[in-house]
Amino acid sequence: MNSRRNFLQTLSAAAITFPFLPLDASAESNTVYNPPYDGPVLKVAIMGLGSYGTRVAEAMQACKMAKLTGVISGTPSKIKNWQSKYNIPDKNCYNYENFDQVRNNPDIDAVYVITPNALHHDQVLRVAKAGKHVICEKPMAVNAKEGQEMIDACRNAKVKLLVGYRMHFEPKTLEVIRMRKAGELGKIMFFQGLSGFKLTDTSQWRLNKQLAGGGALMDIGIYAINGARYMIGEEPVWVTAEETKTDIATFREGVDETIQFQLGFPGGAVASCLSTYNMNHLDRFFLNGDKGFAELLPSTGYGPIKGRTHKGELTQPHIAHQTIQMDEMAGIILADKVPIVPVDGEEGLRDLKIIDAIYASAKAGTRIKLGLA
């Protein structure tokens, strides 16, 4: 095994060249993401074998620093299918009753929790108690109180807690952040984040308050919340919000259909955002400064992300987001690598505090002050 210094040097070398990786049949590239690497590998068990867990598992096949070694599911047939597809031995397979036993399994370093939002809190606490690092899909929890408890549990167990913010590693997104930091956009004045789609399957857990913790804001609106923060580069100091509901039969009490919200930032910038389960074609970020602009359209979909600025089209390569994410998170866990945009529990907690405030503002009809800094 290489030394930590060699490992970090290898990580840096891999970061210099971003080859291409096809995400699916619609992706633009057709060559393989194959950076040179010879070092420690993060051994990961995925908890929750649904559609997104499947996407992560597929993308991880191209990872060099992270490897899928275990599964946790309440559906035996899914476990069998994954065992066959990814060559996972019986001893690395668990269900929701016995996954605490991962504490005794050296084949698993970290558990990626990809279950409905309201289950994250208790599952993360159990993984932390078992002594394994945690990657938790966003939103990290259903409110800030739960998020803080998850952070505390992981800190006390001396394990790392990361949140599945895949866009924090996406090349075009990082280029816009670089431009903003370099002053190429000038003083940032305005951000617009549009996040939404028309939810047609009314049987899914996203419409169950007990599992989802909310509605569109928790599921898709968090992209605009988080995006406003990393695009503007500040933490908001106030929020206003208004909820619109046109289908009370589908979107019952506590499950939001559409929320418009505004965020105010200490430097004077304002973000205007929309989160919805009732409109398609909403996946756009627009950042405006007094010297230039940047637009990502689509901005957070699985890819390829497309973008332009006042200087022209963004041409950074498309790589499967989850492949970069898992390799980068392996570096964070194994070698304390520092990402350009944080992906730790504190980052997730800030979004949860904003979500809490958005719901409070929509209910009360008043501006809510935030204290995130």
Place 38 in a pLDDT band, splitting at 50, 70 and 90: confident
Question: Residues 6 or more apart from 193 whose CB is under 8 A from it?
Answer: 223, 224, 225, 227, 228, 271, 272, 273, 274, 284, 285, 299
Strand-pair partners of 93: 71
As a CATH number, domain 4-166 is 3.40.50.720
Of 16-30, 293-307, 356-370, the least confident: 16-30
Say yes or no: do domains 4-166 and 171-315+345-369 share a fold: no
Q: For the chain, how many helices (H) and strands (E)?
A: 11, 15
Place 367 in a pLDDT band, splitting at 50, 70 and 90: very high
What share of the chain has pLDDT > 70, as a percent?
90
3-state secondary structure at position 220: helix
Q: Which residue would you say has higher pLDDT here, 257 or 15? A: 257
CB 69 within 8 A of CB 108: yes
One-letter amino acid for residue 56 of the chain = V
Domain residue spans in the chain?
4-166, 171-315+345-369
Give me the sheet containing 293-296, strands edge to edge: 312-313, 307-309, 293-296, 282-289, 188-196, 270-276, 258-264, 238-244, 368-369
Query: What is the per-residue DSSP string for 83-106?
Result: HHHHT--GGGEE-TTTGGGGGG-T
Residue whose token pair is 């036993």: 101
One-letter amino acid for residue 55 of the chain = R
| Matching CATH number, 171-315+345-369, of 3.40.50.300, 3.90.470.20, 3.30.365.10, 3.30.360.10 | 3.30.360.10
pLDDT at position 37 is: 81
- Residue 14's nearest CA partner among 30, 33, 32 is 33
> Is 26 a residue whose pLDDT tops 70?
no
Distance CA 253, CA 44 (A): 37
Structure tokens at 141: 């929890």
> Is 126 a residue whose pLDDT tops 90?
yes
Signed CA dihedral, 172, 278, 140, 87: sign only? negative
Of 38-42, 45-49, 268-272, the least confident: 38-42
> Is 13 a residue whose pLDDT tops 70?
no
Mean per-residue pLDDT, 293-308: 97
Place 4 in a pLDDT band, splitting at 50, 70 and 90: very low
> Is 248 a residue whose pLDDT tops 80?
yes
Of 15-29, 88-102, 106-120, the least confident: 15-29
